[in-house]
C-alpha cells in the first residue's frame, strides 16, 4: 500500500487571504482522514504565511493517523517540532519569496548543520525525511546525515512536456529510487502531482508515501475534500496493485527461469 499524505497548507492559505477564521485547516484534516488520507502533511513556515502555531498544536492533538510536519532547519522551528513530536518531519528548503517549495534541499552543502538537526529529531523518536531532487549525490548525503527517508521532488516530471521529456524524468526518478534503496532509505514523493499525472509515478515500485496538496485542494472546491481525497487514494491503490502484479510476474520468471 502506498500512503497518501494530504498537504492542507492551501486551506490555510485561503483563510489567510482574508485574515479570517475560515476555512479551518483542522477541519480539512478531519475531512481528509475521512476520505482515506494516511498522513496529514502541513508546513509550518518561518513566516507563518499559512499554517499557524495554533493549527500545528491542534493538528497534533486531533489527527488520528500520521502527522508529517514540513519544516526548515531553523532552530526555532526545530524546537517546536521537538515539542510537538509529529510522527515525521520532512526537512525542506525555505525561501521567503517563493510561491511554494520550489526544489530540493541541498544536503551535500548543508550536511554539517543538517546532521545535528536530524540527530535531535531522531532522539525524539521522530522519523526524519529530506526533500531532495532525484540526484544520487543528494540522496547519498541524506543517508550519511542519518535521515530515515528521502522525499523525491517530482517537479521535474510534473513540469516536463509529455513524451520523451516526461519519460526521461520518470527514468531519473526510477534511478533515484534504486540509489535510495542501496543507501538504506525509505522513499517518498511529492510536488506537482495531480489526478492526471500521478499514475506514471505511482507505477514506479518503491515509493512508500506520496505527499499531494494543490491538486487535491483544487478538486475539493468542486467535489468536497473527502471525495477529492478518496479519488486520489483510489488512483494510488490501483497503482500499488500493479506493483504486486509486477512482483508476482518476476517471481514467476524466477521459478520458471
Ligand atoms: N512535498 C513537499 C516537501 C512540499 O513542499 C510540497 C508543497 O508544499 C508538497 C509535497 C505538495 O506539493 P503540491 O502542492 O504541488 O502537491
Q: Ligand 1, closest atom to CA 158?
A: 15
The pLDDT of residue 256: 40
Interval 212-224: pLDDT, tens: 999 999 999 999 9
Mean pLDDT of 69-84: 98
Higher pLDDT, 45 or 240: 45
Summary mean pLDDT of the chain: 93
End-to-end CA distance of the chain: 28
pLDDT digits (tens, 9 = 90+) for 152-207: 999 999 999 999 999 999 999 999 999 999 999 999 999 999 999 999 999 999 99
Q: What pLDDT is stored for residue 226 in this prediction? A: 98
User: Do residues 178 and 214 lie in contact, with contact meaning Cβ atoms separated by under 8 Å?
Assistant: no
Task: Report the nearest atom of ligand 1 relative to the CA of 9.
Answer: 8
- Give the span between the Cα atoms of 61 and 142, in whole angstroms: 30
Task: Please state, in angstroms and as integers, the Cα–Cα distance from residue 243 to each residue in 47, 82, 249, following that order.
Answer: 41, 36, 10
| Ligand 1 mutation target, pool 191, 197, 207, most atoms within 8 A of CB | 191
Q: What is the mean pLDDT of residues 53-79?
A: 98
What is the DSSP pairing of strand 88-91 with strand 3-7?
Answer: unpaired
pLDDT value of residue 62: 98
Q: Which of 50, 188, 191, 209 is catalytic?
A: 191
- Contact criterion met (CB below 8 Å) for 20 and 7: no
Q: Is 192 near ligand 1, meaning CB less than 6 Å away?
A: yes
pLDDT tens sequence across 103-160? 899 999 999 999 999 999 999 999 999 999 999 999 999 999 999 999 999 999 999 9
User: What pLDDT sits at residue 100?
Assistant: 67
For residues 67 and 86, give the distance between their C-alpha atoms in angstroms, rounded to a whole number.
5
C-beta of residue 58 within 8 angstroms of C-beta of residue 25: no
**Domains parsed from the chain with CATH numbers:** 3-256 (3.20.20.70)
Q: Say if residue 253's pLDDT is above 60.
A: no
43 is catalytic: yes
* % of residues, the chain, pLDDT over 90: 88
Distance 141 CA to ligand 1 centre (A): 22
Of the residues 190, 201, 202, 209, which should be mutated to test ligand 1's pocket, given the most ligand atoms within 8 Å of the CB? 190
pLDDT, one tens digit per residue, over 86-97 is 999 999 998 766
Closest CA to 80 of 29, 112, 46, 39: 46
| 179 Cα distance to chain centroid | 19
Instruction: Categorize the per-residue pLDDT at 252 as very low, low, confident or very high, splitting at 50, 70 and 90.
Output: very low
Amino acid at each position: 500500500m502506498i500512503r497518501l499524505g494530504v498537504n492542507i497548507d492551501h486551506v490555510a492559505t485561503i483563510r489567510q487571504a482574508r485574515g479570517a477564521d475560515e476555512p479551518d485547516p483542522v477541519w480539512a484534516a478531519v475531512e481528509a482522514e475521512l476520505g482515506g488520507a494516511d498522513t496529514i502533511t502541513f508546513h509550518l513556515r518561518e513566516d507563518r504565511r499559512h499554517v499557524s502555531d495554533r493549527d500545528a498544536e491542534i493538528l497534533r492533538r486531533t489527527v488520528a493517523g500520521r502527522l508529517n510536519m514540513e519544516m526548515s532547519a531553523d532552530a526555532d522551528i526545530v524546537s517546536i517540532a521537538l515539542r510537538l513530536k509529529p510522527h515525521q518531519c520532512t526537512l525542506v528548503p525555505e525561501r521567503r519569496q517563493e510561491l511554494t517549495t520550489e526544489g530540493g534541499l541541498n544536503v551535500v552543502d548543508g550536511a554539517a548543520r543538517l546532521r545535528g538537526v536530524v540527530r535531535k529529531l531522531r532522539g525524539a523518536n521522530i522519523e526524519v525525511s529530506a526533500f531532495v531532487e532525484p540526484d544520487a549525490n543528494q540522496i547519498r548525503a541524506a543517508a550519511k546525515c542519518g535521515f530515515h527517508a528521502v522525499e523525491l521532488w517530482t517537479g521535474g516530471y510534473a513540469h516536463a512536456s509529455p513524451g520523451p521529456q516526461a519519460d526521461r524524468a520518470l527514468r531519473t526518478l526510477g534511478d533515484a529510487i534504486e540509489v535510495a534503496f542501496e543507501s538504506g532509505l525509505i522513499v517518498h514523493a511529492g510536488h506537482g502531482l495531480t489526478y492526471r499525472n500521478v499514475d506514471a509515478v505511482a507505477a514506479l515500485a518503491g515509493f512508500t508515501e506520496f505527499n499531494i496538496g494543490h491538486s487535491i485542494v483544487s478538486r475539493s472546491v468542486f467535489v468536497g475534500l473527502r471525495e477529492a481525497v478518496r479519488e486520489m487514494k483510489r488512483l494510488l491503490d490501483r497503482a500499488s496493485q500493479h506493483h504486486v502484479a509486477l512482483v508476482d510476474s518476476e517471481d514467476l520468471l524466477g521459478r520458471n527461469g
